[in-house]
C-alpha cells in the first residue's frame, strides 16, 4: 500500500486539522452530553451553516457569517435553556428548522455554481489552508484552556445548575460561555467537517466517553482521544476507499460510540438492577 500521500502538505494539514478539530469538538461535546442539550448543538451548527452561506452569497468571509449566526442562535436558545420557560425541544425544533430553511434560501438565491456552498455542507478537510489550521488551533487552545482553568465551576454547573448557583457560582455565565464555545468550535470546524456532519463529531466522542467512565476528568480526556481518533481513522478510510472524508470521520465516530456502548461498564449496573428486580 502506498502511504507516500502522507508526505504531502495538504495531507499533513488535514491530519493536523483532524487533531485540533477533534479535540475542540469532543471537548465541547462533553458539555452537550452532560447538560442534556444535544438539540442545542444541532441548532447551532445549522445556524453556523446558514450564516456561512449568507457570507458566500453577499460576499464576506463565510466564517464571520457562521460565527455571527451561531452567536445569534446562542442568544436565542440560551434563555430558553436557562429559564426553561418553553419546552426546549419544541422551541429548539422551530429554531433549528428555521435555520435550515434560511440556509437553503441563501443557497437558492446564490448565483453561479454552488460548489463552495456544498463544501460547507459536507466539509473538505483535504483543502484546509494554514489559516484554517491556525483558527482551529486557537479555538482548541481556548476551549481546553477554559476547561482546565474553570474545571470546578464547569463540574458544578453540569452536575446541577441550581446547586451551582446556590453555592455562589456564576452558573449562568458558565452556561452562556459553553454556548459561546460551542458556536466558536462549530465555526472553526465548519470548513473541515461540514455543517451537516459537524454535530456528530461533537456528540459521538463525548457520548462514547460517557459510557466508559465515572470520572468527569477522564470523560474529557477520553472524549478528546476519541475525537482525534475519529478524525485520523476517518481520514485514512477516506483515502483508502476514495470516499468523502467528512462522512468517514463521522461514521468512525459513530462506530467508536457503538463499541464503547457495547463494552460500557455502566451497562453492568443496569444488568445488576434488572437481575435484582427479577429476583423480587
Name the residue nearer to other proteins (CB basis): 130 or 266.
266
* Residue (of 244, 232, 227, 131) closest to 188 by Cα position: 131
* 276 lies in the binding site for other proteins (CB under 8 A): no
Least Å distance, CB 269 to other proteins, is 7
In the chain, which residue ranges form alpha helices assigned H by DSSP? 9-34, 38-58, 62-83, 88-109, 115-122, 130-149, 151-159, 161-166, 171-193, 198-212, 216-241, 245-262, 266-279
* 94 lies in the binding site for other proteins (CB under 8 A): no
Name the residue nearer to other proteins (CB basis): 97 or 215.
215
Name the residue nearer to other proteins (CB basis): 118 or 149.
149
* 26 lies in the binding site for other proteins (CB under 8 A): no
Among 160, 243, 259, 263, binds other proteins (CB under 8 A): 160
117 grid coordinates? 456552498
d(CA 150, CA 161): 15
* 280 lies in the binding site for other proteins (CB under 8 A): no
Name the residue nearer to other proteins (CB basis): 97 or 166.
166
Q: Which residues bind other proteins (CB under 8 A)?
A: 34, 36, 149-150, 152-153, 155-156, 159-160, 162-170, 210-211, 213-216, 218-219, 266, 269
Amino acid at each position: 500500500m502506498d502511504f507516500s500521500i502522507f508526505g504531502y502538505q495538504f495531507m499533513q494539514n488535514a491530519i493536523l486539522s483532524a487533531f485540533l478539530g477533534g479535540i475542540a469538538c469532543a471537548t465541547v461535546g462533553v458539555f452537550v452530553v452532560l447538560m442534556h442539550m444535544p438539540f442545542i448543538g444541532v441548532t447551532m451548527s445549522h445556524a453556523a451553516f446558514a450564516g456561512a452561506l449568507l457570507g458566500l452569497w453577499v460576499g464576506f468571509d463565510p466564517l464571520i457569517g457562521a460565527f455571527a449566526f451561531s452567536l445569534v442562535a446562542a442568544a436565542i436558545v440560551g434563555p430558553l435553556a436557562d429559564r426553561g420557560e418553553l419546552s426546549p425541544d419544541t422551541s429548539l425544533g422551530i429554531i433549528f428548522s428555521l435555520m435550515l430553511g434560511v440556509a437553503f434560501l441563501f443557497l437558492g438565491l446564490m448565483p453561479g455554481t454552488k460548489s463552495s456552498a456544498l463544501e460547507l455542507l459536507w466539509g473538505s478537510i483535504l483543502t484546509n489552508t494554514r489559516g484554517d489550521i491556525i483558527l482551529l488551533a486557537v479555538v482548541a487552545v481556548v476551549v481546553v484552556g477554559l476547561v482546565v482553568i474553570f474545571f470546578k465551576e464547569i463540574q458544578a454547573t453540569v452536575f446541577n445548575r441550581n446547586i451551582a448557583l446556590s453555592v455562589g457560582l456564576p452558573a449562568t455565565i458558565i452556561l452562556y460561555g459553553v454556548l459561546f464555545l460551542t458556536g466558536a468550535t462549530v465555526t472553526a470546524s465548519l470548513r473541515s467537517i461540514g455543517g451537516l456532519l459537524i454535530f456528530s463529531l461533537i456528540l459521538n466522542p463525548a457520548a462514547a466517553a460517557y459510557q466508559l467512565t465515572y470520572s468527569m476528568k477522564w470523560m474529557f480526556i477520553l472524549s478528546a482521544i476519541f475525537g482525534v481518533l475519529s478524525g485520523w481513522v476517518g481520514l485514512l478510510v477516506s483515502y483508502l476507499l476514495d470516499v468523502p472524508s467528512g462522512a468517514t470521520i463521522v461514521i468512525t465516530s459513530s462506530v467508536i460510540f457503538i463499541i464503547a456502548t457495547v463494552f460500557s461498564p455502566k451497562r453492568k449496573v443496569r444488568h445488576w438492577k434488572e437481575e435484582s428486580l427479577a429476583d423480587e
